[in-house]
């Protein structure tokens, strides 16, 4: 089945530093999503990417959908303590032909710790 490789597994940074994390897949996805999850809570959507090559920003967050449709990255600029959490990438086939095209396949997450 499809698998997403997310790296790094964890990061420990100083407040104010920039952060980069990425996700690669053995298969093509037509939608890439990035979520953040706090302990004991559900994932919260950060950025959605629907087109290969697309670069999208949400405040200090920027994400790109790789041209090959097999990868995506997320950058966080000028990190702050509240950025602490687990970041997940997720891919979706999202083709209107039924079957398993709507389910999300998740990476294992990147644990981000920000030292004030």
Q: Which residues bind other proteins (CB under 8 A)?
A: 4, 6, 30-31, 33, 35, 40-45, 48, 50, 88, 90, 94-96, 98-109
Q: How far is the CB of 82 from other proteins (least distance, A)?
A: 18
Q: Which is nearer to other proteins, 5 or 78 (CB)?
A: 5
Least distance to other proteins from the beta carbon of 91, Å?
11
- Give me the residues paired with residue 95 across strands: none
Min separation Cβ 7 and other proteins, Å: 13
Strands (E), 66-109: 71-76, 85-92, 105-106
- Six-digit token pair at 4? 């997403």
- CB of 14 or CB of 41, closer to other proteins: 41
As a whole number of angstroms, the distance between CA 74 and CA 20 comes to 6
Please tell me whether residue 82 adopts helix, strand or coil conformation.
Answer: helix
44 or 67: whose CB is closer to other proteins? 44
């Amino acid at each position: 089945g499809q698998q997403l490789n997310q790296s790094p597994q964890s990061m420990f940074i100083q407040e104010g530093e920039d952060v980069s994390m990425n996700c690669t897949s053995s298969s093509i996805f037509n939608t890439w999503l990035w979520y953040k999850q706090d302990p004991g809570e559900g994932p919260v959507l950060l950025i959605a990417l629907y087109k290969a090559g697309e670069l999208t920003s949400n405040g200090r967050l920027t994400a790109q959908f790789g041209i090959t449709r097999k990868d995506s990255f997320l950058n966080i600029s000028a990190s702050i303590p509240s950025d602490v959490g687990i970041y997940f990438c997720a891919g979706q086939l999202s083709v209107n032909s039924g079957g398993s095209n709507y389910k999300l396949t998740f990476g294992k997450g990147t644990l981000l710790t920000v030292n004030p």
